[in-house]
Amino acid sequence: MLKDASTKVTQPEGDGATDSTMLPTPSSVMSGAEIFVRSLEAEGVKYIFGYPGGAVIKVYDEIARLNPSFQHILVKHEQGGTHMAAGYAKVTGKAGTVLVTSGPGATNCVTGIADAFMDSVPIVVFTGQVPTHLIGNDAFQETDIIGITRSITKHSYQVRDVRDLARTIKEAYYIAETGRPGPVVVDLPKDMLAATTSFQYPEQVFIRGYNPNVPVAMKQLELAAEMIKASERPLLYVGGGTLSSRATELLTEFARITRIPVTTSLHGLSSFPETDPLSLGMLGMHGTWYANQAVQHCDLIFSVGARFDDRVTGKLDSWAPHAKVIHIDIDPSCISKNVQVDCPILGDVKEVLQKLTPLVAPKDTAAWLGEIEAWRKECPLEYEKDGLLRAQGVIQKLRAQSGGDAVVVTDVGQHQMWTAQYFQFVRPHSHITSGGLGTMGFCLPAAIGVAFGLREKGIDVPVISVSGDGGFVMNSQEMAIASAHNLPVKIIVVNNQFLGMVRQWQELFHENRYSHTNLAPTNPDFVKLAEAYHVHGVRVETPAELDAALASAWKSADAPVLIECRVQMDEMVFPMVPAGAATGDMITKRYSADDAV
Amino acid sequence: MSQATLTPQQIYRKKAAGEPVLADDTLKIRRHIFSVLLENSIGALNRVVNLFYARGFDLESVVVGISDDPSLYRMTLVTTGTARKIEQVLRHLNNLVDTVQVEDLTDQEYVERELCLLKIRYTEKNRSQIMDINDIFRGKVIDITAETLTFELTGPTTKINAFVGMMQPFGIEEMHRSGRVAMRRALVHGS
């Protein structure tokens, strides 16, 4: 299979010229800036998240002049714009669009681009650039953004000829959205936006070095079907690829036909209803005890669009010691990267499951499911219920209030893990987070992007943004966008006045030396902060207050609401596989530091 | 892929099952030579070279030049690593949008050449000796002064190594090697 992958010359239908799809026809001559606007319209872009500046002033001028079919959302900070684009992309399946100026405008996008790269999110970031004759001169607001982002983009372009502009935009969206999705940067020197040429948006893309449509090898499917048939203790390990391939229904059908239990990675959450008896919740570092026990005892791991991240496997050499591995992935470089795979299936999850499902028969997994049930009873997810407001309880109340009918966006840290553990996702694409890069400050802007995406698609479900008090402040300025555009985002700040996850590690592994994790002295008044951005804010300190605040927040259909939840400070996320430990060695409750592994 | 080296996990499983583990094979580092066809476009070369640094792969030499098609560059890369690592290098190279073809020539029939320019300080006493060695290697003298001789030599890397080794005792003033350029033999093409 990989022999095929090592040569990827695809024959063009025409003469092989890269620009054969863009035949110059006598159409109207326009400036690069106008071509940019028209190209985005032709691409079907509905929202762009941007911030103007000198290098892109001509584009902004055209946006004002042409009144285009897309809406420009003026963000407060470019990083916020990139996360909005990511949230939008996750919920719509279409690439998110960002437009920023050169220099600091471009560098402010770096974290968002890296985040999208790690989590395979399609975004296209257009950055302004100084005019071509000034490139390399240390001109005002010049930065080599292509160089800076080289390792964190799927591909990037700098337009050096206005005649390439429309084709470049077409290719950028194509590359971002196809195959394993990812961020693409397009650098636009100012003189390219002023130069004129005739405009025609290409209908097709042909890039000879890029062919994302790999045919699925039938032989591999047959092998996989045999392995599934032969296995006695099979386990589905589902990742974000299932969601980006829009294959949640197929996966659910597959699991229910074969009666194979399902565990998901953080990004795989919401691909399979967690209320189903086959669901084991999340696996890995803060996964459930029973999911991790199932991993350690299964004889077959069927990985569907997941990448065996170190937060999933822990110590690699003792992970799933009895299992053979089947792995569906669209990116060949993910296969056998961390765990050697017995049956690799290169391809899109949706296509693979469509072809594989007819090859499998119902299995009798009752004994295996019985074993898992015993583990579930032995160590269920639980926390102290003493009438105090605890973060886990906040998540459960959000679940109860929404009935699971909401898109939940989380930031990074303890609240993220508790949401993953306690929300019980049932609605496909209802969980969005920053998993790979772990970007604090991701949540609020991403939730705003989600709200725009849902608005575009006419889907009326609430968006819940769950942040900690640390990460929320990192992009809290974007509350202004939620209020200005009447987005009914439910902004939950789980405030334990600490950088909770780091605090947890300090307590468990660093002898309670809470070095610089106490946020109380520097935290703002969250309610006042919300009000400064025209967002209604409430502070709650007891479960009863939270109930009332949630009931009233769910009545707000056209305005954001912030609820600051003052939760218990010293709570820890359990169970936990300490970093580098074997998956079988989980800490399931608070213990003395002397017992540390 | 079945020929790939074992993961720590597989070694663990084999040990648990009492099967022999050939650790030597899993850790054996080999030198691989890749031939890559690359778009002649801005930043394409940077992306290839950057990949090696960003992914922690070794890069011994890179040679780039225009191919028979003016829109494409032909690149020869030399890298070292275990079979597992080499597989990852290949896949990541293929994943780059700018690479049109990536081939591992290592286990194929191929020809390779390297160019070496070597400046040697000579005396009247050892000049004929130096020239004799050069004749054996069929190098060319391309510059001469009262004190130095500059040779041009092309050949497989092993030959260059031998030549440089023989010249070392005379005192090398300056050396510049091009790195390897390789091409698959026509003999097996299409087979």
Check residue A387 and give its pLDDT. 93
Query: In angstroms, what is the C-alpha Rg of chain A?
Result: 25
Quote the CA–CA distance of A290 and A302 in Å, as a whole number.
Answer: 17
A211, A8 contact by CB (below 8 A): yes
Catalytic annotation, pick one of A41, A70, A141, A507 = A141
Check residue A374 and give its pLDDT. 96
- The alpha carbon of residue A551 is apart from the nearest alpha carbon of chain B, in Å, by 49
- The alpha carbon of residue B165 is apart from the nearest alpha carbon of chain A, in Å, by 37
Please identify every stretch of chain B with a pLDDT value under 50, giving residue numbers as ranges: 1-4, 191
Check residue B21 and give its pLDDT. 63
Check residue B42 and give its pLDDT. 84
Check residue A585 and give its pLDDT. 85
Quote the CA–CA distance of A24 and A33 in Å, as a whole number.
Answer: 19
- What does the domain layout of chain B look like in residue ranges? 8-104, 110-184
Q: Hey, what are A328's tokens?
A: 């569906």
In this complex, is the C-beta atom of B185 within 8 Å of any C-beta atom belonging to chain A?
no
End-to-end CA distance of chain A: 42
In this complex, is the C-beta atom of B39 within 8 Å of any C-beta atom belonging to chain A?
yes
**DSSP β-ladder status, A234-238 and A96-100:** unpaired
| Residue in chain A lying closest to B98 (CA) | A209
B93, B161 contact by CB (below 8 A): no
Check residue A27 and give its pLDDT. 63
Q: Quick: pLDDT tens for A221-262.
A: 999 999 999 999 999 999 999 999 999 999 999 999 999 999
A304, A393 contact by CB (below 8 A): no
Check residue A561 and give its pLDDT. 98
- Across the interface, do A332 and B91 touch by the CB < 8 Å criterion? yes
Q: Say if residue A4's pLDDT is above 50.
A: no
Q: Hey, what are B191's tokens?
A: 């087979």
Quote the CA–CA distance of A514 and A144 in Å, as a whole number.
Answer: 39
User: Top-level CATH class of A22-198?
Assistant: alpha beta
Percent of chain A with pLDDT over 70: 94
What CATH number belongs to B8-104?
3.30.70.260
What does pTM read for this prediction? Answer: 0.92
59-78 in chain B: CB under 8 A from chain A: 71
User: Top-level CATH class of A218-378?
Assistant: alpha beta
A190 flagged as catalytic: yes
In this complex, is the C-beta atom of B83 within 8 Å of any C-beta atom belonging to chain A?
no
- Across the interface, do A332 and B95 touch by the CB < 8 Å criterion? yes
3-state secondary structure A187-228: EEEHHHHHCEEECCCCCCCCCCCCCCCCCCCHHHHHHHHHHH
Quote the CA–CA distance of A523 and A517 in Å, as a whole number.
Answer: 12
Check residue A9 and give its pLDDT. 44
End-to-end CA distance of chain B: 21
Burial class (CB in 10 A: 0-12, 13-18, 19+), A29: exposed
Check residue B191 and give its pLDDT. 44
| Residue in chain B lying closest to A344 (CA) | B1
Quote the CA–CA distance of A266 and A286 in Å, as a whole number.
Answer: 10
Q: Residues of B with CB below 8 A from A300's CB?
A: none
Interface contacts A/B by beta carbons within 8 Å:
92
* Alpha helices for A404-476 (secondary structure H): 414-422, 443-457, 469-474
Computed over every residue of chain A, the mean pLDDT equals 93
- Which helix H or strand E contains A65, and what residues bound it? helix A57-66
Of A398, A402, A333, nearest to A179 by C-alpha is: A333
Q: Quick: pLDDT tens for A53-108.
A: 999 999 999 999 999 999 999 999 999 999 999 999 999 999 999 999 999 999 99
Confidence category of residue A23, pLDDT binned at 50, 70, 90: very low
A78 flagged as catalytic: yes
ipTM: 0.87
Check residue A21 and give its pLDDT. 45
| Residue in chain B lying closest to A10 (CA) | B100
A247, A353 contact by CB (below 8 A): yes
Query: What is the three-class DSSP state of A475?
Result: coil
Residue A585 corresponds to which amino acid?
A: D
- The alpha carbon of residue B16 is apart from the nearest alpha carbon of chain A, in Å, by 9
* Diameter of chain A measured on Cα atoms: 78
B8-104 and B110-184 share one fold: yes
Mean pLDDT of the A40-60 span? 98
- The alpha carbon of residue A122 is apart from the nearest alpha carbon of chain B, in Å, by 15
Check residue B84 and give its pLDDT. 87
Check residue A13 and give its pLDDT. 43
* Alpha helices for A475-585 (secondary structure H): 479-484, 500-509, 526-532, 543-553
Quote the CA–CA distance of A42 and B19 in Å, as a whole number.
Answer: 61
* Alpha helices for A259-303 (secondary structure H): 289-297
Superfamily of domain B110-184: ACT-like. Chain A, domain 2 (3.30.70.1150)
Among candidates A5, A209, A318 on the partner chain, residue whose Cβ is nearest the Cβ of B12: A318
Q: Quick: pLDDT tens for B136-178.
A: 999 999 999 999 999 999 999 999 999 999 999 999 999 999 9
- What does the domain layout of chain A look like in residue ranges? 22-198, 218-378, 391-566
Of A23, A30, A18, A36, nearest to A199 by C-alpha is: A30
Of B157, B94, B167, B106, nearest to B136 by C-alpha is: B167
Determine what percent of chain B falls in helix, strand and coil, rounding each to the nearest 5. Answer: 35, 35, 30
Query: What is the three-class DSSP state of A55?
Result: helix
Q: Quick: pLDDT tens for A171-189.
A: 999 999 999 999 999 999 9
Helix pair angle (A165-177, A32-42), 10° resolution: 40
Quote the CA–CA distance of A94 and A92 in Å, as a whole number.
Answer: 5
Q: Say if residue A514's pLDDT is above 90.
A: yes
A22-198 and A391-566 share one fold: yes
A501 flagged as catalytic: yes
User: Top-level CATH class of A391-566?
Assistant: alpha beta
